[in-house]
């Protein structure tokens, strides 16, 4: 791990092995932007100003080698929530739960099916006494169990917690999403209409294209204001010195040849973590970090031992794991109605891609993406034969089996080194790592999707969680479901009282007072929730 102070050498590297000083149960706040590469000032892109994020970076640590497990949101969010690779648990296609309008004809919506012992990240926090909220995007490739959140809605906020209760809160900021490149066109830019903006060489430099690139940066300005509002609320509540703040995005950028791709433009993202004691403020940490590490790390920072089944590692906190990563892994599968199968392995410098559909073009025509003017511009220029050689690469009709890129000297990943004898050893190393990873996770991406669905939902019917059964000993009520891995949620009902909005997580026998009743249901991830069952103490 290399830690570098920007603009100053006053922060000694001697402190790099000393962890932050944390409260016993620190609050944890995740601020998640959508579709954002590290094109913000804290990571060297000075095109626009981001005062809120810049201040956060001065007070926190910037992590410069953070990667999603997919170039699109739902598979990546499944990996974050479970700590497992999406192609291990059947969450690799985009999407599983809403394919009627966007997916292949005849494909039914379904849910990914993790092993029965898997619980969402938020449930571990709830079981440890935290108030857990999500505002408001979910997109996990499965229906959240009722035990996942105290509140997952547009109104969800740590401010609704009990006094003194620690919180784990997630705020999802949609303004930088791909769709906002065209949906914000009717609104004035928040930057100069002729601002000089950087354009990657694989995109055109026409006025139409420049307008969309400027929109991306304008949306970043708007997103930064939203970050500032959330951090101001934290400050107003007197919680800044007891809260670990994460800022990151759900994958790389929104533009063509960025989102949905396994190039760094689709996988690499910015992350800043600010600790209550401002540990290593202003420094950069360049260790390799994957989305599958987030769950273990957040739990570790809260003093909660991460589960053993996860694919990730804790890189901070009480349960930090060594050695550090040598590789990150990623997968690309169906996007809407278009199938492809690509896998990626990356070390600190080299990216290895393995293509499995060699006669399929790189570019996949997706009606959703083609609403973007810059995408339309690319297609017009292709039709006219006016694309440059670099811009034409994405439209090649065939792919090689293997690709190898030196991301130091070729950051846009345009020059394939797979056939260069000088890199034969690196190609072999990363290819072997790929084989080991695919074998280890039993990659489900090589199973036809309908066959996968049939294995999850026999005869096309989703399994239903068995309802909880009540066992009564005196005033103590025990609950159990016959479905392995079922999470049980319950509510205690007092006479004349309104029902609570959220379900409590069942962990131990519940004691009822005379006149109280209880309702409960069970829900295993990937199954349908059980019917609700009620019990009243005589």
- Rounded CA-CA distance 285/297 in Å is 15
400 φ/ψ angles, rounded to the nearest 5 degrees: -75, 160
- Rounded to whole angstroms, how far apart are CA atoms 230 and 173? 11
DSSP state of 189: P
- Please choose, from the candidates 120, 107, 124, 108, the residue with its C-alpha nearest in 3D space to the C-alpha of residue 77: 120
- Structure tokens given for 217: 């940066």
Strand 402-406 versus strand 350-355 pairing type: antiparallel
Give catalytic residues, as residue numbers: 73
Q: What share of the chain is helix, strand, coil (3-state, %, to 5)?
A: 30, 20, 50
d(CA 521, CA 382): 56
Is residue 255 reached through a cis peptide bond, with omega within 30 degrees of 0 on the bond before it?
no
C-alpha of 198 from chain center: 26
Tokens of 488: 């049980």
User: How many C-beta atoms lie closer than 10 Å to residue 245's C-beta?
Assistant: 22
DSSP sequence for 101-161: TTS-TTPPP------TT---HHHHHHHTT-EEEEES----SSPPPTTS-SEESTT--GGGS
């Amino acid at each position: 791990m290399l830690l570098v102070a920007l603009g100053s050498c006053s922060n000694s590297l001697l402190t790099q092995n000393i962890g932050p000083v944390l409260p016993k149960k620190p609050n944890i706040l995740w601020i998640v932007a959508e579709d954002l590469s590290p094109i913000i000032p804290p990571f060297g892109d000075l095109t626009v100003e981001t005062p809120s994020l810049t201040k956060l970076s001065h007070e926190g640590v910037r992590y410069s080698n953070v990667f999603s497990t997919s170039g699109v949101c739902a598979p990546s969010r499944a990996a974050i929530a479970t700590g497992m690779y999406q192609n291990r648990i059947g969450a690799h296609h985009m999407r599983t739960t809403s394919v009627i309008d966007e997916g292949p004809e005849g494909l039914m919506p379904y849910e990914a099916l993790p092993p029965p012992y898997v619980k969402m990240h938020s449930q571990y926090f709830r079981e440890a006494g935290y108030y857990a909220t999500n505002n408001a995007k979910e997109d996990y490739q499965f229906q959240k169990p009722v035990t996942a959140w105290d509140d997952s809605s547009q109104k969800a906020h740590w401010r609704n917690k009990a006094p003194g209760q620690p919180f784990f809160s997630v705020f999802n900021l949609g303004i930088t999403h791909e769709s906002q490149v065209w949906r914000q066109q009717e609104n004035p830019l928040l930057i100069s209409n002729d601002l000089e903006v950087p354009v990657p060489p694989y995109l055109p430099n026409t006025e139409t294209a420049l307008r969309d690139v400027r929109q991306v940066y304008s949306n970043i300005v708007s997103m930064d204001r939203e970050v500032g509002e959330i951090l101001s609320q934290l400050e107003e509540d007197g919680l800044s010195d007891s809260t670990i703040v994460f800022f990151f995005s759900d994958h790389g950028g929104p533009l063509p040849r960025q989102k949905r791709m396994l190039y760094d433009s689709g996988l690499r993202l910015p992350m800043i973590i600010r600790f209550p004691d401002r540990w290593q403020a202003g420094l950069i940490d360049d260790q390799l970090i994957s989305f599958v590490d987030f769950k273990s790390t957040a739990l570790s920072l809260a003093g909660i031992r991460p589960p053993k089944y996860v694919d990730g590692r804790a890189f901070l906190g009480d349960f930090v794991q060594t050695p550090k990563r040598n590789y990150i892994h990623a997968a690309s599968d169906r996007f809407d109605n278009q199938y492809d199968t690509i896998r990626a392995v990356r070390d600190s410098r080299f990216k290895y891609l393995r293509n499995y559909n060699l006669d399929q073009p790189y570019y996949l025509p997706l009606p959703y993406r083609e609403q973007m003017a810059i995408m339309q511009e690319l297609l017009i220029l292709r039709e006219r034969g006016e694309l440059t050689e670099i811009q034409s690469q994405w439209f090649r009709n065939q792919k090689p089996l293997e690709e190898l890129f030196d991301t130091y000297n070729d950051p846009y990943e345009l020059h394939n080194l797979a056939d260069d004898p000088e890199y034969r050893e690196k190609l072999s190393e990363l290819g072997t790592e790929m084989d080991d990873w695919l074998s280890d996770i039993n990659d489900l991406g090589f199973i036809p999707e309908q066959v996968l669905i049939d294995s999850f939902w026999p005869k096309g019917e989703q399994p239903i969680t068995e309802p909880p059964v009540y066992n009564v000993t005196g005033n103590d009520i025990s609950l159990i479901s016959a479905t392995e891995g079922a999470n049980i949620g319950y509510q205690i009902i007092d006479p004349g009282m309104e029902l609570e909005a959220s379900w409590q997580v069942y962990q131990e026998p519940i004691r009822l007072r005379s006149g109280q009743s209880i309702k409960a249901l069970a829900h295993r991830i990937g199954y349908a929730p059980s019917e609700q069952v009620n019990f009243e103490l005589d």
